[in-house]
């Protein structure tokens, strides 16, 4: 992975040459064939991933139902946050939908980078938090749609819930 290729990702735009060099030393490129499980829900959270090309599906398996697709990661997207955040295990399963090339960073190395180069770490974590927030906002709407279809809610009621307004006092 070259510096220009890395800077093409929104996550890294605006990083200095020195910051990019620090990150490049931590990254490994991996290519996975279609329908390959990259990591499983409950497995040790070892790597944080950035999708370079391909598509990855993220599935969450609740204890009381079938697995749910919670995200489709496209090039430039990130997954495996658990490792970046220092969590013990992954909360979802990541599977390739097609041949996919990723950049991966070992979670403990990313944490070490944040300690050694706090400016780089702070910017990276701030951008990562922004991406996580965006994905969770999108997920909220998807979950409400699934609930609405499953419960056959009337359209007006569902719109109120989505907009954060309910006529029922809590």
Q: Domain coordinates of the chain in residue numbers? A: 3-162
Residue 72's alpha-carbon distances to 29, 129, 131, 138, in angstroms, are: 20, 18, 14, 11
Low-confidence ranges of the chain (pLDDT < 70): 1-4, 130-170
pTM here? Answer: 0.74
Specify whether the CB–CB gap between 51 and 76 falls below 8 A. yes
H helix or E strand, kind and range, residue 58 = strand 56-60
Other Cβ atoms within 10 Å of 59 Cβ, number: 17
Q: Give the per-residue pLDDT at 159.
A: 55
Closest CA to 11 of 137, 92, 105, 144: 105
Q: Give the per-residue pLDDT at 148.
A: 54
CA distance 27 to 50: 10
User: What does the pLDDT look like over 65-100, one tens digit per residue?
Assistant: 888 888 899 998 889 988 988 899 999 999 999 999
What b/e sequence results for 109-128 when a residue is b if at least 16 CB atoms lie within 10 Å of its CB, and e otherwise? ebbebbeebeebbebbeebb
CA distance 157 to 78: 34
Please identify, in words, the CATH class of the domain defined by 3-162: mainly beta
The CA-to-CA distance between both ends of the chain, in Å, stands at: 53
Concatenated DSSP letters of 74-135? -TT-EE-HHHHTT-SB-SSEEEESS-EEEEEEEHHHHHHHHHH-HHHHHHHHHHHHHHHHHH
């Amino acid at each position: 992975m070259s510096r220009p290729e890395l800077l093409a990702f929104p996550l890294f735009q605006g990083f200095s040459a020195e910051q990019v060099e620090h990150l490049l030393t931590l990254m490994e490129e991996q290519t996975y064939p279609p329908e390959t499980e990259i990591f499983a829900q409950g497995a040790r959270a070892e790597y944080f991933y950035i999708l370079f090309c391909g598509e990855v599906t993220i599935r969450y398996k609740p204890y009381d139902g079938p697995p749910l697709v919670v995200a489709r990661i496209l090039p430039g997207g990130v997954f495996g946050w658990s490792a970046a955040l220092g969590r013990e295990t992954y909360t979802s399963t990541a599977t390739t939908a097609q041949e996919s090339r990723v950049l991966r960073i070992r979670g403990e190395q990313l944490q070490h980078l944040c300690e050694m180069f706090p400016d780089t770490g702070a910017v990276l974590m701030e951008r990562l938090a922004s991406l996580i927030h965006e994905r969770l906002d999108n997920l909220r709407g998807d979950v409400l749609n699934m609930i609405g279809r499953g419960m056959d809610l009337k359209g007006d009621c569902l719109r109120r819930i989505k907009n954060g307004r309910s006529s029922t006092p809590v």
